[in-house]
Structure 1
Amino acid sequence: METYFFQCPYCWQQISVVVDKSIHNQNYIEDCEVCCNPMLLEIKIQNFDIFYFQVSEL
């Protein structure tokens, strides 16, 4: 598990998620903890490191 910090695409505040690095491809929806808008998170893990992280508006 790793805490990953990123910027919300709606309110531009820095927020974080905890990423399970044992799952290679992850796609899920999470609400921003500041503005509560939904975001699509796309995460790819390679060799137990975060290889790709993309966040987008829904």
Structure 2
Amino acid sequence: MQSTAKYHCAYCGEPSTTFIDFSAGIQQSYVEDCQVCCQPNILYVRIDEDTLDIEIDTEPES
């Protein structure tokens, strides 16, 4: 199952949308470039097993 979720870029603060692959586990991390400023963001994705709510934290890639 796949879904989308929004996050805010760690560099420019603009909202972006990313695809979430539920089959990859309830805790995931990966790098995705901002759709606005093209800077690389590390996304930390957590999925609640019971409600399937998605929480995303971002930080700049160093």
How would you bin the TM-score normalised by the shorter chain? 0.7 to 0.9
Q: Quick check: 1:56 aligned with 2:53?
A: no
Q: Kindly indicate which of the two structures has a greater share of residues assigned to strand.
A: 1
Root mean square deviation, CA, Å = 1.7
Q: Does the CA-based 8 Å contact 2:7-2:56 persist in structure 1? A: no
Judge which range, 20-29 or 30-39, deviates more. 20-29
Which residue does the alignment assign to 1:26? 28
Question: AA paired with 2:41?
Answer: M
SS at the partner of 1:22?
A: helix
TM-score with structure 1 setting the length: 0.80
How many residue pairs get aligned? The number is 58
Q: Does the CA-based 8 Å contact 2:5-2:54 persist in structure 1? A: no
